[in-house]
Structure 1
Amino acid sequence: MIKVNHIYIFLGLTLLFFSCKSEEKNETSTTKTESKIVLEDRFQYLLDYPVDAAGFPRSMSLDPQEIHKVPSKDWTSGFFPGNLWLIYKLTEEESFKTKAMEWTALMEDQKYNAGTHDMGFKIYCSFGEGYEITKNEDYKKVILESAQTLSTRYNDKVGSLRSWDFNKDIWDFPVIVDNMMNLELLFVATQMSGDSSYHKIAVNHANTTLKNHVRPDHSIFHVVDYDPVSGKVNDKYTHQGFSTESSWARGQSWGIYGFTMAYRFTKNPDYLAQAEATAKFFMEHPNLPDDGIPYWDFDDPAIPNAQRDASAAAVAASAVLELFTITKKQVYLDYANKVLASLNSEEYLLDASIQAPFILKHSTGNWPKKDEMDEPIVYADYYFLEALIRQKDL
Structure 2
Amino acid sequence: MVRTVNIEPFTKEQEFLATPALTKEELTNAFEECLKQVNLNMEYFKDRFPYSCTKGLKYPIIDNIEWTDGFWTGMLWLAYEYTNDKKYKELADRNIESFLHRVENRIELDHHDLGFLYSLSCVSGYKLTKNEHAKKAALLAADKLMERWQEKGQFLQAWGPKDSPEHYRFIIDCMLNIPLLYWASEVTGDNHYADAATKHFTTSCKYVIRDDASAYHTFYMDPVTGGPSHGATRQGYSDDSSWARGQAWGIYGIPLNIRYTKNTEYVDLYKGMANYFLNRLPEDNICYWDLIFTDDPEQSRDSSAAAIAVCGMLEMDQWLKEEDPSKKVYQKACDNITRSLIQNYTNNDHKPGDPILYHGVYSWHSGKGVDEGNIWGDYYYMEALMRQIKQWDPYW
TM-score band by shorter chain is 0.7 to 0.9
1:235 and 2:230 aligned: yes
How far, CA to CA, are the matches of 1:260 and 1:42 in structure 2? 30
The answer (yes or no) to whether the contact 2:58–2:355 under 8 Å persists in 1 is: no
Determine whether 1:226 maps to 2:221. Answer: yes
Cα distance in structure 2, aligned partners of 1:107 and 1:158: 30
Query: Pick from 304, 307, 323: which aligns with 1:311?
Result: 304
Amino acid in structure 2 at the alignment position of 1:80: W
Q: Which has the higher contact order (CA 8 A, sep 6+)?
A: 2
RMSD, aligned α-carbons: 2.6
Please name the residue that 1:298 is paired with: 291
SS at match of 1:332: helix
The AA in structure 1 aligned to 2:166 is W
Deviations 1:76-122, CA, capped at 9 Å, x for gaps? 01111111111111222221111221223212233253511100000
Alignment-derived partner of residue 336 in structure 1: 334
Percentage identity across aligned positions? Answer: 32
Q: Distance in 2 between matches of 1:168 and 1:248?
A: 28
Residue 301 (structure 1) shift: 8.2
- How many residue pairs match? The answer is 365
Q: 1:39-58 maps to which residues of 2 (within 5 A)?
A: 39-53=34-48, 55-58=49-52
Structure 1 unaligned blocks of 5 or more: 1-19
How far does residue 188 in structure 1 lie from its aligned partner after superposition? 0.4
Consecutive aligned runs of 4 or more in structure 1 exceeding 6 Å deviation: 31-34, 166-170
Cα deviation digits, residues 264-292 of structure 1 (max 9, x gap) = 1001223332222211111123xx02332
Shift of the 320–41 alpha-carbon distance from structure 1 to 2, 3 Å rule, reads: same
> What corresponds to 1:6 in structure 2?
none
Distance 1:32 1:202, change over 3 A: closer
Secondary structure, in 3 states, of the residue corresponding to 1:368? Answer: coil
Preserved contact between residue 172 and residue 228 of structure 1 (Cα < 8 Å): no
* 2:192 paired residue number: 197
- SS of 1:372 mapped into structure 2: strand
TM-score by length of 2: 0.85
Other-structure match for 1:11? none
Structure 1 residues 33 and 147, CA, compared in 2 at 3 Å: closer, same or farther? closer
User: Displacement, 1:385?
Assistant: 1.2
User: How do 1:122-137 and structure 2 match up within 5 A?
Assistant: 122-137=117-132
Instruction: Return 5+ residue gaps in structure 2 as ranges.
Output: 1-17, 392-396
In the alignment, what sits opposite 2:363?
366
Partner residue in 2 for 1:245:
240
| Separation in 1, partners of 2:376, 2:170 | 20
- Secondary structure class of the residue paired with 1:106: helix
Instruction: Give yes or no for contact 2:148–2:162 (8 Å, CA) kept in 1.
Output: no
Return the alpha-carbon distance in structure 1 between the equivalents of residues 244 and 117 of structure 2.
22
| Counterpart check, 1:67 vs 2:59 | yes
Assess if the C-alpha contact under 8 Å between 1:51 and 1:103 holds in 2: no
C-alpha separation in 1, matches of 2:372 and 2:341: 14
Amino acid at match of 1:59: C
Write the distance in 1 (CA, Å) between the matches of 2:35 and 2:181. Answer: 35
| 1:164-211 deviation digits (Å, cap 9, x = unpaired) | 218998824020000111000000000000000001000110010111
Q: Distance in 2 between matches of 1:319 and 1:332?
A: 10
Q: 2:216, 2:240 within 8 Å by CA — same for their partners in 1? A: yes
**Aligned residues of 1:242 and 1:300 also touching (Cα < 8 A):** no
Please report the TM-score for the alignment, with normalisation by the length of structure 1: 0.85
User: Aligned partners of 1:90, 1:78: CA distance in 2, in Å?
Assistant: 18
**Residue equivalent to 1:386:** 383
Residues 180/32 of structure 1: CA separation in 2 closer, same or farther (3 Å cut): closer
TM-superposed CA distance for 1:44, in Å, is 2.1
- The alpha carbon displacement at 1:68 in A equals 2.7
Maintained 8 Å contact 2:100/2:133: no
Over 3 Å counting, the alpha-carbon distance change for 1:32 and 1:141 in structure 2 is: closer
Structure 2 residue 123 is the aligned partner of structure 1 residue 145: no
User: Which 10-residue stretch deviates more, 324-333 or 313-322?
Assistant: 324-333
